[in-house]
Structure 1
Amino acid sequence: LHQELPIAGSRDMLAVLSGIDLPASAEKVPVVGMEAMAWLVDGDLYLRSEHPLLSPAWTGSLAGPDGLRAYRLKPVSNLLFSVDGRIVRVGLTLP
C-alpha cells in the first residue's frame, strides 16, 4: 500500500506566495474586509495574506520569509482571520 505524499512547496503554492507566475487558469477572486489576494485554480481557492487564516481548514499552506502566507482550500464565501489579536470576517465574491 503506497500513498503519495504531498510535495513541499508546490509550484502553485509558491506562485501564490510570490504573486507571480500563477497558472494561466487562475481566476482572481475579489476579497472584502481585509487586504488579501485570492484566486480560483482548478477548483481550489488560493489565498495570499500577511495574517493567519483561522477558518475554514485549509488543505495546504506555505509561509514566506517576509511574513506572507499562502493557503489552499475548498472554495468558500466567508473566512476568519486573526488580525492584530482580533478575529476578522472576510468575504469572497466567488464567480
Structure 2
Amino acid sequence: MTERTARGRWHVDLHHDDVNRYPGMAFVLRHVCGLDKETGVALADEAQRHGTARVLSCDTRDDAERIVAEIQLLGVRATVSVASEDAG
C-alpha cells in the first residue's frame, strides 16, 4: 500500500466470516464507529452477501488503521483499503 496522496481516501472494510453474527457485528460497529444498530446490521448483511462492506472512509491511513485495529480487537475481521484512484 502506498502512502496517502493529497486527494486520497482510506477505507475501512468489513469482511464476512462464519463466526460472527449480525447482532455482534452491529454492536462492534456501533461501539467503534458510532453507527446505529440498523446501519450495522445492514453492513453485516452486505458483507455476508458480497464478502465485504465499506464501513467508512478516513482522511488518513493512520485513522483507518486505528479503527480497523479496534474492530479486530473485538473479534470482527476488517481491513484498510485505499481509494482506487490512489492505488498503484
Interval containing the TM-score (normalised by the shorter chain): under 0.3
Q: TM-score, normalised by structure 1?
A: 0.25
* Structure showing the higher strand proportion among its residues: 1
Higher RCO, Cα 8 Å, sep 6+ = 2
